[in-house]
């Protein structure tokens, strides 16, 4: 068993999960706001969600590559997987869903627009601030 390949697949799945939390999180917030779901106003959920997209935006604006992409790439090299055809089905599927062949600026702009949409959701459906415990 090639542990490097397995770890690379795991990193790819984690990367996919990160993207899905950000994307689906906004959809859940918008849908939940319309349907009156109380949990979408949870301050910690919303703060973590905002932090996740802001990490991506800041990293893109600074020109840093995604650490998960770099880590997966390094693991694939260690596994001897030089070509896409060497990757597992899981890796090819994840890559088809989250990687596109566009110039980097397209992603930076898309991430910034998405962050603005998440920020707007704070205004449209504001989170409840945590309550202070009385002593």
Residues 6+ apart with CB under 8 A from 74: none
What's this model's pTM, rounded to 2 decimal places? 0.88
Give per-residue pLDDT as tens, 12-21.
999 999 999 9
Q: Is the pLDDT of residue 73 over 70?
A: yes
Going by the DSSP 8-state scheme, the letter that residue 62 receives in this structure is T
Mean per-residue pLDDT of the chain: 93
Q: What is the pLDDT of residue 84?
A: 66
Give the model confidence (pLDDT) of 20-57 as tens digits.
999 999 999 999 999 999 999 999 999 999 999 999 99
Confidence (pLDDT) at 82 = 77
Instruction: Give the C-alpha separation, 60 to 104, whole Å.
Output: 8
What does the pLDDT look like over 78-130, one tens digit per residue? Answer: 998 877 667 788 888 998 998 888 998 999 999 999 999 999 999 999 999 88
d(CA 50, CA 29): 12
Give the helix/strand (H/E) hosting 45. Answer: helix 43-61
Reported confidence tier of residue 4, pLDDT bands at 50, 70, 90: very high
């Amino acid at each position: 068993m090639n542990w490097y390949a397995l770890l690379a697949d795991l990193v790819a799945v984690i990367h996919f999960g990160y993207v899905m939390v950000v994307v689906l999180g906004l959809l859940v917030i918008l849908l939940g706001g319309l349907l009156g779901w109380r949990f979408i106003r949870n301050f910690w959920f919303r703060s973590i969600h905002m932090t996740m997209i802001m990490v991506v935006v800041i990293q893109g604006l600074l020109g840093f590559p995604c650490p998960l992409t770099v880590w997966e790439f390094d693991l694939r090299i260690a596994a001897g997987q030089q070509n896409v055809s060497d990757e597992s089905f899981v890796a090819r599927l994840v890559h088809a869903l989250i990687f596109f062949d566009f110039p980097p600026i397209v992603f930076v702009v898309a991430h910034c627009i998405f962050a603005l949409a998440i920020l707007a959701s704070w205004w449209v459906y504001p989170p409840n601030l945590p309550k202070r415990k009385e002593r």
